[in-house]
Each structure stands twice: as C-alpha cells, then as structure tokens.
Amino acid sequence: MKQKEHKTIDGIECKHCFNCNQWKELKEFNKNKRNWDGLRRQCKECCAKYRQTPKAKKNQRKHSKKCISTPQRKEQHKKYLKEYNKRPHILKRNNIRSYTNRALGSAKQFNCMICNKQGEEYHHFSYGKDYKVNIVVLCIKCHKKLHRGAGVK
C-alpha cells in the first residue's frame, strides 16, 4: 500500500487513517517506529475498535501464551533450566567445559584452527574419555558452521 503524505489543514498537520478513511491530527495516531513517519497507519479510535473484535482478542491470547515475559513464565523457565542442568549428560558436559577453561585459559589467546582469526570458543569432538585431547579452538562463525553440519571451508 502506498504511503500518503501528510496534509496541512487549517494550519494543523494531518495524517490519513486507512481504516476510517479520514484525515486526523498527528496526535490522534499511536507511534510505530517502523513506518516512514513514525506513526501507525490507523488512528487511536480505529485501533480501540479493532481491539474489541473477536479476531483481535484471539490473536492477543495466542501471543500472550507464547510470550515468556510474564513473571510466571520466567519462573517456569528458571525451574526448567535448573532441572535440565541436573541431567547427567549435561553435568558431564559442563564439568568438561569448566575443566577446559581452567586448564587452558581463555580461547582468545589462540587463533581459530580453520580461518586463523582470533579464537573465541573451544570445540570438543567428543565428550568421551579422551576429552582432554580432542579440543580445538574456533571462532564463533566456524564453530556454528561445524555444529550445523555445513562443513567448514
């Protein structure tokens, strides 16, 4: 949809509401950073009417369930992480990582084994008995490529 430029009516800058098809003062519109003028396309009155429709209420419920920003969801997520970190394979992995960092120090003192940029992370090829020798230093970009299975050039 094409943007409509603002009009000056009786010395007041106005904007067109695409819902009610009227020209209204700029203060009648809510903010929206993404739009070219920093304002929403529909006026506050039309937004309020839309929020009362069943469709809007259904979308609001969907969004609120997905959102983790509520205090209850944050608490649930904390509990989940606490339990997750108690799992044996996670404990083993975390112990190996902390051993590596203590024994070798920061990975930033080494270069990436693939692209020769500054290293940022250690990569373990396995967490088996030989975890102390199966370690390479990689930059974040190469490490992600390696884990995605894309291979590294």
Per-residue CA distances from 10 to 5, 30, 152 (Å): 16, 22, 64
The whole model's pTM is what? 0.40
pLDDT tens per residue, range 2-15: 678 899 999 999 99
For 12-66, which CATH class? alpha beta
Contact 110, 137 (CB under 8 A): yes
pLDDT score of 67 = 60
Q: Give residue-wise pLDDT tens across range 44-102.
A: 999 999 988 888 877 776 666 556 667 888 888 888 888 888 888 777 777 777 777 77
- CA end-to-end distance (rounded Å), the chain: 44
**How big, in percent rounded to 5, are the helix, strand and coil portions of the chain?**
45, 20, 35
Query: Tell me, what amino acid is at 139?
Result: C
Tokens standing for residue 61: 């419920």
Domain spans, the chain? 12-66, 88-148
